Amino acid sequence: MRVRELRIGTVNTASSTLLVPALRDLRTLQDTGGVEVINAQQAEIHRGLAEGTLDLGTVNVLPGDDVPVGLVASELIHGQPVACLRTDHPLAAGDHVTVAQLREQHFVAMRPGYVMHRFAHRLFAGTMPPTTYATDGAEMGKAMVAEGLGISILPDYSISADPLVTAGVITTRPIHGDGTTVSLLMLRRNAEHVPAQLRDLQSALVRHASAYRSRASA
């Protein structure tokens, strides 16, 4: 019997680090049914989970952000916002970048509705770089950086293990003077019954998150 298709909402973060490896594990365990991965903004994921059109969600949060009533949240990993830039960019020669340096660059921002959009406006104190591109999610942001359109600010766990990093195209630098923490949450509805396929996917995400934390601490 075919298992019901799972629908996963994501803000397009930690795809190479967690989501894709977890989906690969799920296929090994249960090679039936299907999984639909939907790129969406955080509010859309909250709404989809509450309405039952999504089974699971992954979202970024900053300290103090609340989770809507009726949803169960588990922190998978946490890290810091970092500058994402091409490896041949002049700023990649240093061991960090400053806000003043970032403000002088072409900038690839996330659209309103993403945590990194809110963080960037806070970091730049409302005065954004003069040339700014806006896009949806880390994957397109990294692609635009790789094509030389500018620098982006993303969670470090959204860039770690990315094929563009392993290929030597893009890299990261910490932002000098900023100690902000950003966390990746796994969200689901508060329900007594959780289908086996969904339980297996959650377990795979937790397992890969634990491996990521171990690598990061080492």
Sequence ranges of the domains in the chain: 6-75+183-217, 81-174
Q: Is 41 helix (H, G, I), strand (E, B) or coil?
A: coil
pLDDT tens-digit series, residues 61-82: 999 999 999 999 999 999 999 9
Write down how long the chain is. Answer: 218
User: Which CATH code is given to the segment(s) 6-75+183-217?
Assistant: 3.40.190.10
Contact 18, 209 (CB under 8 A): yes
User: Within 13 A of 27's CA, how many CA atoms are on the CB side?
Assistant: 9
Show Cβ contacts of residue 96 under 8 Å, excluding neighbours closer than 6 positions: 173, 174, 175, 176
The identity of residue 176, as a single letter, is H
pLDDT tens-digit series, residues 81-121: 999 999 999 999 999 999 999 999 999 999 999 999 999 99
pLDDT score for 1:
42
Confidence category of residue 161, pLDDT binned at 50, 70, 90: confident
- Can you read off the two tokens belonging to residue 82? 């970092």
* Same fold: 6-75+183-217 with 81-174: yes
pLDDT tens-digit series, residues 30-62: 766 689 999 999 999 999 999 999 999 999 999
- Can you read off the two tokens belonging to residue 84? 């994402």
State pTM to two decimals: 0.90
Of 32-36, 49-53, 173-177, 184-188, least confident by mean pLDDT is: 32-36
Q: In b/e form, how buried is each residue of 135-168, taking b as 16+ CB within 10 angstroms?
A: bbbbbbbbebbbeebbbbbbbbbbbbbbebbeee
The domain defined by 81-174 folds into D-Maltodextrin-Binding Protein; domain 2 (3.40.190)
- Can you read off the two tokens belonging to residue 205? 């995400």
